Amino acid sequence: MALLQGTRLLEEARISVPRLTAEVLLAYALRRERTFLFGHPEHELSEIEWLHYGRYLHQRLEGMPTQYITKTQEFYGRPFRVTPDVLIPRPETEHVIEASLAAGKSARRILDVGCGSGAIAVTLQLETGAEVIGTDVSFEALQVAAVNASNLGARISLIHCDLDSALRDQSIDVLVSNPPYVPDAELSGLSREVRDYEPRIALTSGPTGFEIYERLIAGARRVLRPRGHLILELGYNSSDRVVRMLEGRFDNVRLDADLAGIPRVVSCQLPH
């Protein structure tokens, strides 16, 4: 009954995937896994469970992303804590992980600039065993990343600084980043879940959306060791301009597309 009621409310509000969303919120209200719902259809909610479920449904109807309600998002097969202080990790960003693993097989020191929740930094440390550093200008984001590193058993160093400003010259083998790339003028056109709830500092960097790319590319030339790798996530329709920024400054520039055929990641290598 509770699941049907929640699904109907979400459908009427035109919330995407209403049935799945209702299942996730109900399971969270019960403090159970979703599988519990299917194995115990006869379960009657207690008063406190109804209160929790009703509150979560109301928050979702108001536009709050499900991940911020449940405080969890899976990334690369692992559960990450997320709060409104960090961007919700997207499946597309897993392409950044794949590109980083391919490029930096023997990397000893990896830097994740603008690490947010720590999804990239934690994943790369666990997958490679390398020394991994995450930086962010948001102290609140670094707190979330620290929780994720602790929960998942990753050994990463976290630094509160602007981009790579705290790193020594030629000290990094792989620099990876999912930078803010939405132009200021396009922010209002984003879905309300993104526009009204995710941190603006993680979405947009200025009028063009390329401001952080320019600074990252300049910084990478300073902190990367010779033949070090730079790997960046790309915004929609940004690949041509970012590739032009890299030409003549980096070797082996390569684009990797997502399942929709959209260039999602650019990889390149610092010359000797």
Average pLDDT, the chain: 95
Phi/psi for 262 (5° steps) reads -90, 125
Retrieve residue 204's tokens: 């947009």
The 10 Å CB-count burial string (b at 16+, else e) for 184-219 is eeeeeeeeebebebbbebbbbbeeebbbbbebbbeb
pLDDT (tens digit per residue) in 158-188: 999 999 999 999 999 999 999 999 999 999 9
- pLDDT of 18 strictly over 90: yes
| Sequence-distant (≥ 6) Cβ neighbours of residue 67 within 8 angstroms | 73, 82, 88
Question: What mean pLDDT comes out for the span 118-138?
Answer: 97
Query: Exposed, middle or buried by CB within 10 Å (0-12, 13-18, 19+), for 105?
Result: exposed
**Spatial separation of the C-alpha atoms in residues 258 and 272, rounded to whole Å:** 30
Retrieve residue 181's tokens: 């790339």
Question: What mean pLDDT comes out for the span 129-156?
Answer: 98
pLDDT (tens digit per residue) in 213-246: 999 999 999 999 999 999 999 998 899 999 999 9
pLDDT band at 39, cuts 50/70/90? Answer: confident
pLDDT (tens digit per residue) in 193-213: 999 999 999 999 999 999 999
Q: pLDDT at position 40, please?
A: 83
**Spatial separation of the C-alpha atoms in residues 92 and 215, rounded to whole Å:** 23
pTM > 0.85: yes
pLDDT band at 1, cuts 50/70/90? Answer: confident
| Sequence-distant (≥ 6) Cβ neighbours of residue 112 within 8 angstroms | 118, 120, 121, 124, 132, 133, 134, 135, 176, 177
- pLDDT of 38 strictly over 90: no
Q: Which percentage of the chain shows pLDDT scores above 90? A: 91
Residue type, 62: E
